Amino acid sequence: MAKRVLVTGSSRGIGRAIAHRLATEGYRLAVHYGSQRDQAIATVAGLPGSGHEIYDADLTDPNKAAGLIQRVTADGPLDALVNNAGVYMPMDFAAAGDASFDAALHRTFSVNFESPVRLIRAALPHLEAQRGAVVNVASRVGFKGEGGAALYAASKAALISITRSLAVELAPRHVAFFGMAPGWVDTAMARDGMSERIDQILETIPLGRMATPDDCAGVASFLLRDEARYLSGITIDINGASYFH
């Protein structure tokens, strides 16, 4: 039977590209969306193969994570989890008002860190049964930091750190953990922050272009192969040689 994978935030952008790439390789996809149902339907309609399904969950509420896994696994085995859903909320750390700061702190960590952690906990028995894997989509700024996006960078750093720790702790349970750390990727979310400085951004990327969602999908595909399993704990940079650590 074809392997089955849940990709969160897969109605558009990197998540949609990952879903499409995995479907072309024979996976059955559990396509998750938060609010973009029409885009999720379009994503599934464009996937090759069969057996793909759509699931909704508002991951700004981490308490919804376990219910999402319960619904996905009620429909079949789960071989892999790709934690892709994320939010980017730039802000002036010192100047932001208390209410807006608190809202950004809660939303950023709920979606980018706490929900992925709770998804992993809920999925773990199923992944262990399948000797499965988790891919966490982090960010370059989780390593290098970024002014004006301190909360986002911190949430991604936390995701990278827990990827490493769980790779160690859960290796005896035969679940592998991987991270991806894209730099600038040409997605709708990124365009909101780059439209006025595209030339400046490209000057920092030796390869001369931003990553595409397909670049990220190729890395996710590789990490879910059996050949990558001994790399458990690694986070792979996708940044066009623009940053090393």
Active site residues per annotation:
152
Is there a contact between 22 and 221 (Cβ–Cβ < 8 Å)? yes
Is there a contact between 188 and 13 (Cβ–Cβ < 8 Å)? yes
Is there a contact between 180 and 220 (Cβ–Cβ < 8 Å)? yes
Torsion sign (Cα): 60, 83, 31, 131: negative
Q: How far apart are CA 177 and CA 4, in angstroms?
A: 16
Q: How far apart are CA 95 and CA 154, in angstroms?
A: 18
Say if strands 133-137 and 176-182 run parallel, antiparallel, or are unpaired: parallel
Q: Give the long-range contacts of residues 126-131, CB within 8 A, separation 24 or more.
A: 126/69, 126/73, 126/77, 126/78, 127/78, 127/79, 127/80, 127/81, 127/175, 128/173, 128/174, 128/175, 129/77, 130/3, 130/77, 130/78, 130/79, 131/174, 131/175
Q: What is the dihedral of CA 6, 8, 12, 18, to 10 degrees?
A: -50
Closest C-alpha to 185, from 217, 225, 224: 217
